[in-house]
Amino acid sequence: MRFTRYSDEIEFSMHQLYSSLSERDRRRYAAVEALKLGHGGILYLAHLFGCAEKTIRRGLAELLTPPELPLGRSRKKGLDANLVSRPSKAWRKTSKPSCAITRRATPWTRKSAGRT
- Please say whether the dihedral angle defined by the alpha carbons of residues 70, 15, 7 and 5, taken in this order, is positive or negative: negative
Tell me what the pLDDT averaged over the chain comes to.
77
Mean pLDDT of 33-38: 90
The answer to whether the beta carbons of residues 3 and 42 sit under 8 Å apart is no
Among candidates 6, 50, 2, 7, which has minimal Cα distance to 26? 50
Phi-psi bin for 55: left (phi > 0), alpha (psi -120 to 50), beta?
Answer: alpha
- So where are the chain's domains? 8-64
Burial of 6 (0-12, 13-18, 19+ CB in 10 A): middle
In tens, the pLDDT along 41-68 reads 999 999 999 999 999 999 999 988 876 7
